[in-house]
Amino acid sequence: MSAETAKLPASLARIVERFARQSNPKRRYEQLIWYAKRLPEFPESDKVPENKVPGCVSQVYITADINEEKVFFQGDSDSQLVKGLVALLIEGLNGLTPAEILQVSPDFIQDTGLNVSLTPSRANGFYNIFQTLKKKTMFYQNLMSAQAHN
């Protein structure tokens, strides 16, 4: 486990380790597809412009909700590999507090080994998805902060 992985939330660290154990890029892709298949069904009604991830070649949608001060995401993509990236992020970040999510750096992708297998447009898509999750999290953190001051 790298120093970077040690700083990750436990749920995300487990996923990173699972990918890091795979030395074969094809196996990593198979693992991404496996994550994609586990992603819960995304409501068609949520496929609206405000939930669309900007800067992705694929169609990617992300929603966030907060329950008991923990953030929960849902997502979908029309590309299985990108859907796997969405699923990896959602599984790794769901149920964390906004502060925990906002501390995560996207650099953990290097520890998975996926960064060497992703095409530049998919790597860019990963960062855009990650930034969208953080942006939605920031919204809830600001909302909670405002409520605390009232």
pLDDT tens for the chain, 150 residues long, are: 455 556 899 999 999 999 999 989 899 999 999 999 999 999 999 999 999 999 888 999 999 999 999 999 999 999 999 999 999 999 999 999 999 999 999 999 999 998 888 888 888 999 999 999 999 999 988 888 888 777
Distances (CA, A) of 6 to 3, 12, 108: 5, 10, 10
Rounded to 5°, the CA angle 21-24-29 comes to: 90
| Residue 56 among the catalytic residues | yes
What number does CATH give the domain 3-143?
Answer: 3.90.1010.10
Q: Which of 8, 16, 36, 56 is catalytic?
A: 56
Give the Cβ contact number of residue 69 at 10 Å. Answer: 11
Give 3-state DSSP helix, strand, coil % of the chain, rounded to 5. Answer: 65, 10, 25
pTM for the full model? 0.92
Angle between helices 25-38 and 10-20 (to 10 degrees): 140
